[in-house]
A and B are shown apart, each in its own frame.
Chain A
């Protein structure tokens, strides 16, 4: 299976590469349009800030490439937020695969620290991405912005309020958490993504 990891100006991309390797697969980290388009699976990962990453994608014409992909795509963290319509982070227009806006966490009490950093549970999971899970499992998050629950929500997490910790629409999947850092649960989610039925 050919797995392309989109290379752009976001951090943490090497962690995803390492995680895919631990599953015995050999990914390619690339910004080469043809390699991305011809891969069986595309991972759009990263940790970073919406405005500068979006500007980079546009400058390298990766914005059009990503939204037109037909194979299963997995956005992770900032990758998920960039797949949405707009982000409150520096008032940034994003890719618009998911027609929903990314909002900033507003703390309601002292314990509500922003960014959310650490392990939280994914609940109300409904997707093949979460095949094999029988209880709310814990996964690892680091983020200051969130996607509200919407018609594409396939998992919710409660931090300050319930929000979308994963999304799915057509061939696009996305997780707010980092499966590559979420232990065995994260490995299972990545494996489930690679096992998604491909309708190209």
Chain B
């Protein structure tokens, strides 16, 4: 049986790992390759490296970093950030990335998904969706009371679009993406758990794997998103970077709770 995956996410700026809370306030959290190796040794199933420098110089630095990651890390890794066209995908896959994650570019020009799938295969194409439930009324854990109106955002969660989460996710699936990485902006940085109601709706309706992102604060949150949210994988950053949840401990716990994980 396929194992549920634990994915640490490393935000990279100028070659260093940083982590934002609610998409602002960056804190330093280590060397990207050393940290990646550490996670891999601890049992992380995949890694995500997100380039949050948008400049041309920064992009070159990041490509060089991707080459070094590919040389040194022995598990699959996804890269994202600043991917706007097919040539960016080609450059990063050539540098050794296993998958690329696209976000704003896909919302601006959805055909990009079809083109990546056709040229490189669906399995390399992760579409990240940042969405926010516009209804402020919510349960204590951040799950919205009314689950319909999730608005998709671009530019790192700064600009709302006309797209709604469930419609967009369906389109992404149909255009040939390999996976969806859904970040709930309501839950991100709050550490009260993942958006399991919305995640479950996605996982139960789509034919591709769904990665939960945003809201991890305790081991129970991972259990809940796998068992209740039906997520295929769960992504987190700060709880791993600052040692709040050691990955070996998390996986032992999940196994005890009946979640199939790689140990």
Contact = CB atoms under 8 A, between A and B. Distances in A.
Interface string B235-256: 0000000000000000000000
Interface stretch (A33-41, A61-69, A116-124, A164-172): A116-124
Interface of A: 11-12, 14-15, 18-19, 21-22, 47-49, 110, 113, 115-121, 138, 140, 142, 158-159, 180-184, 186-187
SS class of chain B's interface: helix, strand, loop or mixed? loop
A11 B70 CA distance: 14
B156 to A, nearest CB: 27
B159 interface: no
17 contacts: A11-B121, A15-B70, A18-B96, A47-B121, A113-B207, A113-B208, A115-B178, A118-B3, A118-B233, A119-B262, A120-B1, A158-B1, A159-B1, A159-B2, A181-B75, A183-B75, A186-B74
B5 interface: yes
A119 B45 CA distance: 8
B125 to A, nearest CB: 12
A110 to B, nearest CB: 7
A181 to B, nearest CB: 5
Which one of A18, A47, A180, A187 has the highest number of Cβ atoms from chain B below 10 Å of its Cβ?
Answer: A18
A15 B74 CA distance: 9
B120 interface: yes
B208 to A, nearest CB: 6
B204 interface: yes
Interface in B1-18: 1-3, 5
B2 A19 contact: no
Closest 3 interchain pairs by CB?
A138-B262, A119-B3, A119-B262
Contacts of A181: 74-76, 98
Contacts of A116: 2
A196 to B, nearest CB: 21
Interface string B38-82: 001100010000000000000000000000001110111000000
A158 B260 CA distance: 13
B232 interface: yes
Interface residues of B, number: 31
B123 A115 contact: yes
Contacts of A138: 3, 262-263
Contact of B74 (A49, A110, A158, A183): A183
B185 interface: no
B107 interface: no
A182 B74 CA distance: 6
B65 to A, nearest CB: 14
A193 to B, nearest CB: 15
Given A15-B70, A159-B2, A187-B74, 11 more contacts: A11-B121, A14-B70, A15-B96, A18-B96, A115-B122, A118-B45, A118-B209, A119-B5, A138-B3, A140-B76, A181-B75
B196 interface: no
Contacts of A140: 75-76
Given A14-B96, A138-B262, A117 B74 contact: no
Contacts of A11: 93, 120-121
B130 interface: no
B28 to A, nearest CB: 27
A19 B74 contact: yes
B137 to A, nearest CB: 31
A114 B205 CA distance: 15
B188 interface: no
B232 to A, nearest CB: 7
